[in-house]
Structure 1
Amino acid sequence: MEETRRKGSETRNGQQGSLDELREEIEEIDNGIVESIARRTYVAESIARVKEERGMGIHDPDREEEVLERVEERAESLEVDPETVREVFELLMGMSKDEQRRHTDTD
């Protein structure tokens, strides 16, 4: 994690970046996050079709808890607050379920 923190707060030449450079880096990260959310949404649509074909419901509490535990562990390993990461992923999973509902007639 220390390497990740250092990497995020330094310019390519290893010196402290200017505020503008740091903001530019945040913008790049934000764009990556949005792209990842879009990818996740697309995969959720595919999952909805598979679940519908198999007669499965959208809500799978065991799977959701598995995902939440996994991302909390990953957050801890990166020294990021696991509760905050859990909340973010609960929101993302809610978005995925909404997307699945839009593409199927199942719950």
Structure 2
Amino acid sequence: MTLDEIRDEIREIDQEIIDLIDKRTALASDIAKIKKENDIPVRDMEQNKKVLSRATEMAVESGLDTGRVKKIFETLIEMNIEKQENLMGKGKLP
């Protein structure tokens, strides 16, 4: 493989990552609706811990840096919380 071919493959993977982030964040709409109907707070620290623990375990299994993976998932969690808050009228509008 040439350098350009490898970079093209990385660009494709980057697009897949963006698509998955979009898909994951879109689920915040469904979550916000359920939480609003059931008067559940947006922030769920127990669930956040479960997600971070699961991500850390997956990182270990894949031989990835757990600290960096944890930071990525903390960002993903915050993105979902912000979207839920905005959908429920509790967040800062962009």
The bucket for the TM-score relative to the shorter chain is over 0.9
Given the alignment of the two structures, is residue 54 of structure 1 paired with residue 38 of structure 2, yes or no? yes
Given the alignment of the two structures, is residue 39 of structure 1 paired with residue 31 of structure 2, yes or no? no
Please name the residue that 1:89 is paired with: 73
CA distance in 2, matches of 1:50, 1:42: 14
Higher Cα Rg: structure 1 or 2?
A: 1
CA distance in 1, matches of 2:22, 2:89: 22
**Could you say what the CA RMSD is over the residues aligned between the two structures, in angstroms?**
1.2
**Number of equivalences:** 91
Structure 1 stretches of 4+ with a deviation exceeding 6 A read: none
Given the alignment of the two structures, is residue 29 of structure 1 paired with residue 5 of structure 2, yes or no? no
Q: State TM-score, norm by structure 1.
A: 0.82
Paired residue type of 1:104: M
Consecutive unaligned residues of structure 1, counting only runs of 5 or more, are 1-16
